[in-house]
Amino acid sequence: MAEPGPALVVEHLTVRSADAVLVDDLRLTVGRGETVALVGESGSGKSLTTAAIIGLLPDGLSVSGSVEVGGEQIVDRPESDLGGIRGRKVSLVFQDPLTALNPTRRIWRQFHEVLRLRGRVTTSSARARATQLLTAVGIPDPGDRVTWYPHQFSGGQRQRIVIALALAGEPDLLVADEPTTALDVTVQASILELLRDLSRTREMALLIITHDMGVAADIAQRIVVLRDGSVVESGDIAQVFAAPRHEYTRKLLASVPRLGDAGSAPQPAESGSGDNALVTLSDAGVTYPGATVPSLCGITLDVHAGEVLALVGESGSGKTTLGRAILGLTPITEGARHTDEPTFALIHQDPFSSLNPRWSVGRSIAEPMVLAHNADAAQRRSRVAKLLAAVRLPAEIAARRPVSLSGGQRQRVAIARALASDPDVVVADEPTSALDVSVQADVLELIAHLQDEQGFGLVFITHDLAVVSEVADRVAVLRDGRIVETGDVMDVLGNPSDPYTRELLDSVLVADPVEQRRRRSARTGGQG
């Protein structure tokens, strides 16, 4: 029988470092069977609040106030006691399932390790329990796949396995930390539906940590908005979204891309004509060495100066391979690629891993000029200063290293580096998927401004159709290495001809709880 009272009660939670208050007098309650979204941008205090709830605050921080999970006090509790609370009273679903799972151990053995922490368990019973939990989270053929390794599953399946591991101790409270970040729209929708169903059928409280207002609108009954460690607004999700009281909440909602916003660049020539195209692919295909199935097949597409061409589709659809084929980084193995020898540049998804951590920002931006041997040291310094100004960063950042910059600043540096070679074609591979909504809005506006000013052709790879509707002129929809639909962005998104495009559009989350409930009901036949 469920214990009385809320699953989580946080009162006057304050977290301090030696010289700053990081979380200030936070109050939060999550009832049994209730879903609450804790939203805010990077640095708002979401992660520290999560760590305090599960008793895993980093060393060097002090905590005061009260955190009760299932009636158990977490603050100042000995670590020896917390081990029995984690998993049984509260479990955490991590943002990145690939790093949360041990790549060297079969799935059932990872369940065995978790179950052993709750008491003695035999090998056969652990495997049976793992199979049962994989069934509960919708993994196909769980009896066989329980013996697989993490790399044998898709990203969405790995996230389901992480959720299953978190359920092993039948917790009162499940804390999901950005559980759908960087997932495709259809996979994201299925994960949220799974969490919703688990909360409902198990009377389990769910705390969703997210910067995605669409996720909050889709799954939560209540919302708590954090900024700089303080709660600025909280309440019923529909009321807060319909009439936000705080300026920061209004800013977050205004920054969310929405389907129906049109790109502003001039409309290009018809796709596939090849006239005045910077790059043309004709019936092109890519099959990697040793592979039996092509990664791309029958691709006919061109890229023009001054346009934004969006490539959309789920993971494994061939978006990144197509982007690299356009750049010439991945050789095509059939068909043809024609160019007028334009210059190319690439903006990676993760600027932190694509920037050398040992180099200064200025050196990273100047590297394309060094490789091209087309500027002396003084010219490179001048060009770096102009590029930093172009991406709206202060000149002094040139002397800093990437680790000292925010995510949005690092992405701006990556954009400046890409523009250092005065490219004719820029391929941007998911450049905003991991950014907070307001930072994403700033970066998208910046890219649009620079593209309009400099006239390069932009290939924008993304799984976010709302972003596509905001920035693109044309769109190509990929599935299993083939283009299933292409054309003017408003034609494709407004009146899709392929069922797969319609499926993607129906899965897009909107930052409106009422509309999102209607869309979910239509998608699930009234069962959502």
Identify the CATH number of the domain in which residue 460 sits: 3.40.50.300
Note whether residue 354 is domain-resident: yes
Q: Answer yes or no: is 164 within a domain.
A: no
Residues in CB range of 53: below 8 A, 6 or more apart? 8, 10, 67, 69, 74, 90, 173, 175, 207
Residues 34/206, Cβ–Cβ less than 8 Å: yes
Average the pLDDT over each of 78-92, 98-112, 433-447 and give the range with the smallest value: 433-447
> Is residue 431 in some structural domain?
yes
Angle at 252 between CA 249 and CA 258, to 5 degrees: 130
- Per-residue model confidence (pLDDT) at position 2: 46
User: Does 520 map to a domain?
Assistant: no
Residue 162 maps to a domain: no
In a domain, 11, yes or no: no
Q: Over 60: is that where the pLDDT of 266 sits?
A: no
Give the separation between CA 24 and CA 52, rounded to whole angstroms. Answer: 13
Bridge pairing between strands 296-304 and 344-347: unpaired
Neighbours of 94 (CB within 10 A): 18
Among 262-276, 289-303, 479-493, whose mean pLDDT is lowest?
262-276
Instruction: Give the residue from 291, 262, 308, 306 showing the smallest Cα distance to 481.
Output: 291
Average pLDDT, the chain: 89
Q: Is residue 145 part of a domain?
A: no
Quote the domain boundaries for residue 397: 277-509
Q: Residue 88's pLDDT is what? A: 86
- Round the CA-based radius of gyration of the chain to a whole number and report it: 24
**CB of 39 closer than 8 Å to CB of 223:** yes
In a domain, residue 446? The reply is yes
Residue 524 pLDDT more than 80? no
- The one-letter amino acid at 335: G
- Give the number of domains in the chain: 1
Confidence at residue 273, expressed as pLDDT on a 0 to 100 scale = 42
